[in-house]
Amino acid sequence: MIKIEEILGFTSSKDKSNETVTRKYCIRDTDPNSTNPATAKAALELYALSLALPFGLELGEVSLDEEKNANNLYYGTITFKRPDGAKTKLMIASDLYEMYGEKMVEGRKSATHERFFRVKALTANAALNRLENYIRATMPVSGRLHIGDISVDEEQDGEGFFSGHVVYSNPDTHGSRDKLSGIVPAYGNRCGSTVNSRSRECVYEMRGYNSEVDAWNALSSNFGHARDCESIDVEEDSDGANRLYIGRVRYRREEEEDEDFSNSVSFEVSGTQTKQTHSLFTRGGFAAGGMTPRNYGGLIGVTDDGVEGVDIDTAVSTFTESVYFYPWFLTSNYVAFLARAYGRVNNAPFRGFDVGEVRFLGASGGCRRGDKAVELTFKFAVSPNATNIRIGNIYIPYKYGWDYLWVRWADMKYNGVTVKVPIEAYVEQVYYGMNFGMLGIGF
């Protein structure tokens, strides 16, 4: 049983060559008999696929600190990065540029987001007005952060530009003028999941209340009616002359133990007709009296115009798996990942088949509000790998099942008769590979 929780305080960096957002997690394997960090790593990789991608970034490295662990508790990171070749340089106008080096910091009680600019103007006041007009018209907030400060340096550089700074921070919230009577979302929410349950904790800052009891009653009246609300806690925090309370609302949803959410597998093995131009072995050749049979190197149906071959039965195997997931796992990012994975071939052993034998043919399923589990059905096709293939006098040592084999033919004379014979054979990879463990259904 694996439990994953995010550690507060992500890091973000941005420069000319790269842009990353790194989030930190603790991964606990509650099985006392499990000591394999690969299990925790696989769970974190699967969890990473369910996360929403930051704007303009894609999933990058998922890593586990195997040395820093105790009692099956590991620490890992999930990094999102800028796609290769993506451009982030922004020229807003000939007199206004946004610079690289954006900074974002998030903690339990506060967060900041800082952006950097170059503004061309005659005076510092003119540069400040230019920058302030642009920011307030285009990005008055950053997530839940409000504009905290807009400033420019007093001195120009050699090209007539002033350096500008825009800082977003937690809004200054006081009393009943804020939504929900002084209750505003704070940073530091946590989400966790286990095999049998999932939980989340929402954190709020509360001002304008005379006591912890008043703050607790307000929080309970707004959020205590949810079916999966487990607990509500309020504590007073130091805020100088103003009373600040931190409220935490914890939600937990248990999975019903009597529900049967076991996976299922079905398969079908059938046959199809395939043109075969060469035999496995020529058992004998026979000719009319006084004539010697020609040796065609195992080719079948040789004529003056080519090689006719023969239609033979070959096995076609398909199988499906129905797997149950938590509803929160079925995100738009995961559905997009399945679409990109369609048609790919396994590049690691999968379900007892060797590398190159299994091809992913898509998945289907869905969920409705209130469902306790989502059933997804995955479909696969199997084409066995082959060794020591003979086509005429050409021997091909190995071919992956979903590779494409093609032959180049040429006219040659055999005992005075011109026939088509194979002179070259090529094995081509035509499908991309992937590790099917990334589908989230195991190996």
**CA-to-CA separations, 176 to 45, 109, 322, 324, in angstroms, rounded:** 44, 20, 51, 45
What pLDDT score was predicted for residue 33? 72
Cβ atoms of 395 and 389 closer than 8 Å: yes
User: Is 217 found in the same domain as 105?
Assistant: no
Residues 96 and 74 reside in one and the same domain: no
* 3 state SS of 362: strand
Reduce the DSSP state of residue 76 to 3 states and report it: strand
One domain for residues 46 and 103: no
My answer on whether 228 and 276 are in the same domain is: no
- Residue 126 lies inside a defined structural domain of this protein: yes
CB 247 within 8 A of CB 204: yes
Structure tokens at 416: 């005075």
Helix axes 332-341, 37-49, angle to 10 degrees: 100
Q: Tokens in use for 293?
A: 């049979």
- Cα 290 from chain centroid? 71
On whether both 250 and 273 belong to a single domain, the answer is no
Phi and psi, residue 108, nearest 5°: -65, -40
Q: In a structure prediction context, what are the per-residue pLDDT tens digits for the chain, which is 443 residues long?
A: 788 888 766 677 766 567 788 888 888 877 777 677 888 888 888 888 888 777 667 889 999 887 766 677 888 899 988 776 554 456 788 888 887 667 777 665 567 888 889 899 999 999 999 999 888 888 877 766 788 889 999 888 888 899 999 998 876 544 333 344 577 766 556 666 665 667 778 888 787 788 888 888 888 777 766 656 778 888 887 655 567 788 888 887 655 544 555 555 666 655 556 677 767 667 777 777 777 777 777 777 777 666 777 776 665 688 888 887 777 667 777 788 888 889 999 988 888 888 899 999 999 887 777 677 788 899 999 988 988 888 877 888 888 988 888 888 788 776 666 777 788 888 888 888 888 877 877 65
Domain assignment of residue 259, yes or no: no
Supply the pTM of this predicted model. 0.40
Q: Are residues 73 and 129 in the same domain?
A: no
CATH assignment of the domain containing 242: 3.30.70
Are 321 and 429 in a shared domain? yes
The count of structural domains within the chain is 4
154 plus 199 within the same structural domain = no
Range of the domain at 415: 264-439
Same domain membership, residue 431 and residue 284: yes
CA quadruple 322, 323, 328, 329: dihedral positive or negative?
A: negative
Claim to verify: residue 22 and residue 44 sit in the same structural domain: yes
Domain assignment present for residue 163? The answer is: yes
331 in any annotated domain? yes
Task: Among 62, 81, 100, give the residue marking a domain's end.
Answer: 81
Phi, psi of 145 (to 5 degrees): -85, 140
Domain boundary among 227, 254, 281: 254
Interatomic CA distance for residues 320 and 304, integer angstroms:
46
Of 169, 204, 225, at which residue does a domain stop? 169
Q: Are 302 and 277 in contact (CB under 8 A)?
A: no
| Kind and range of the H or E run holding 42 | helix 37-49
Are the C-beta atoms of 168 and 105 separated by less than 8 Å?
no
Round to whole Å and give the CA distance between 102 and 95.
20
| Length of the chain as a residue count | 443
Q: Is residue 187 a contact partner of residue 110, using CB atoms and an 8 Å limit?
A: yes
Q: What is the pLDDT of residues 46-89, one digit of tens each?
A: 888 888 777 667 889 999 887 766 677 888 899 988 776 554 45
Q: Are residues 340 and 434 in the same domain?
A: yes
3-state secondary structure of 22: strand
Exposed, middle or buried by CB within 10 Å (0-12, 13-18, 19+), for 272? Answer: exposed
- Whichever domain contains 12, its CATH number is 3.30.200
User: What is the torsional sign of CA 137, 141, 142, 148?
Assistant: positive
Do residues 289 and 425 share a domain?
Answer: yes
